[in-house]
Amino acid sequence: MTSEASLPPEWFSKRFESCRDILPAIQYKPMGSLQNPARKRKISPVWEFFDQISSNKVKCMLCSKELVYNNNISSMLRHYRDLHENKERNEATRKQELDEALVTMIVKDTQPFNVVEDVGFRDFVHKLDPTYVLPTRQAVKAMVEAKYAESKEKAKAEVKKVAAVSLTSDMWTSINMDAYLAVTCHFVDNNTCLNSVLLGVVQFPQAHTGENVTYVKASLMEEWGITNNVTCLVTDGAANMIACGRELRLRHTICTAHTLNLIVKKALDQTPVLSDIQAKARRLVAYFRSSTTAKVTDRGVVWMTV
């Protein structure tokens, strides 16, 4: 029987090579490289935070602390994990949480993006957490837009799941005389809960014709993927809305609350005694609204200055 000791040296090198061929996943490192710190830096990511200042000392680049180095990175790893890793992670998480809370506040309270530039608000935030750096107005705008896109995709996925939806829609003019058209979608989900999703509030500078209203509503329905799932459209009784319902070939219902309101208005107009009282009340309200020297106090007492 042949013993290994009696085999020629070439046999060992040949056998070693064949092992490497069989196990390619095991990386072969020549012994010489383990003694070379330059080589080690490439192996461990912890070297990104340390500098070797002598043969047996390293310096942390984050806090300048010097550690003894004996060709072993365990003390460096421990130092980084204990003092820096968690701190960095916690700070990043807190910053993200506060940014998200800021976006939620702006959306819920309809605050302008430049609220982050208001001196009082900045001081208030600094008092709460001096380490938090408020994002810029532009960054807040981008965050709100990203949040909107994310929420819209979620809502779209919910709306697409259901077989049938109803729409309500209305138009109005803002205090700046800009016209808007809004469409809201309503549906019952799998848990038999009624849900409402605002499909869009579209600025409407074009003529308020039935054709234009139809075009905008059809675009929104297509965008949300519900063109073939709308079972009913509810609007006021305006001529353009009625024309729109006809054009879209939907079951169209006039809003009951709106109709009731019209009935009451018409009834008041046709009752002379009531319309006289109404006219007096209007004049009274107009007087107190236009006068800076007269007002009604919280106890209902008329108060005037001369």
List beta partners, residue 66.
Answer: 59
Stretch near Zn ion under the rule CB under 5 A, chosen from 59-67, 139-147, 198-206, 278-286 = 59-67
Which one, 54 or 293, has the nearer CB to Zn ion?
54
Least distance to Zn ion, CB of residue 49, Å: 7
# chain residues binding Zn ion, by CB under 5 A: 4
Can you tell me which of 62, 142, 157, 296 binds Zn ion, judged by CB under 5 A?
A: 62
Instruction: Estimate to the nearest angstrom the gap between the alpha carbon of 84 and the chain centroid.
Output: 30
For residue 168, give the nearest of 179, 180, 182 by alpha carbon: 182
Binding mask 19-58 for Zn ion (x = CB under 5 A): ----------------------------------------
Helix axes of 210-223 and 239-248: crossing angle, nearest 10 degrees: 50
Which one, 76 or 221, has the nearer CB to Zn ion?
76
Least distance to Zn ion, CB of residue 133, Å: 22
Query: Is residue 297 within 8 Å of residue 303, measured between CB atoms?
Result: yes
Which one, 62 or 133, has the nearer CB to Zn ion?
62
Tell me: does residue 61 bind Zn ion (CB under 5 A): no
C-alpha span between 25 and 72 (Å, rounded):
24
Least distance to Zn ion, CB of residue 19, Å: 41
Helix axes of 137-161 and 86-108: crossing angle, nearest 10 degrees: 70
Binding mask 142-161 for Zn ion (x = CB under 5 A): --------------------
Least distance to Zn ion, CB of residue 56, Å: 18
Can you tell me which of 19, 63, 142, 279 binds Zn ion, judged by CB under 5 A?
A: 63
Query: Is residue 72 within 8 Å of residue 102, measured between CB atoms?
Result: no
For residue 238, give the nearest of 209, 212, 217, 264 by alpha carbon: 209
Binding to Zn ion (CB under 5 A) within 64-83 occurs at 65
Quote the strand ranges of the chain, DSSP E. Answer: 50-54, 57-60, 66-68, 165-173, 179-188, 194-203, 230-235, 252-254, 294-296, 302-304
Stretch near Zn ion under the rule CB under 5 A, chosen from 35-43, 63-71, 196-204, 281-289 = 63-71
Taken as a whole, the chain contains a residue count of 306
Can you tell me which of 46, 58, 60, 220 binds Zn ion, judged by CB under 5 A?
A: 60
Which one, 65 or 94, has the nearer CB to Zn ion?
65
Helix axes of 272-290 and 256-269: crossing angle, nearest 10 degrees: 100
Least distance to Zn ion, CB of residue 80, Å: 7
Binding to Zn ion (CB under 5 A) within 227-266 occurs at none
Using CB under 5 A as the criterion, which residues of the chain lie in contact with Zn ion when the complex forms? 60, 62-63, 65
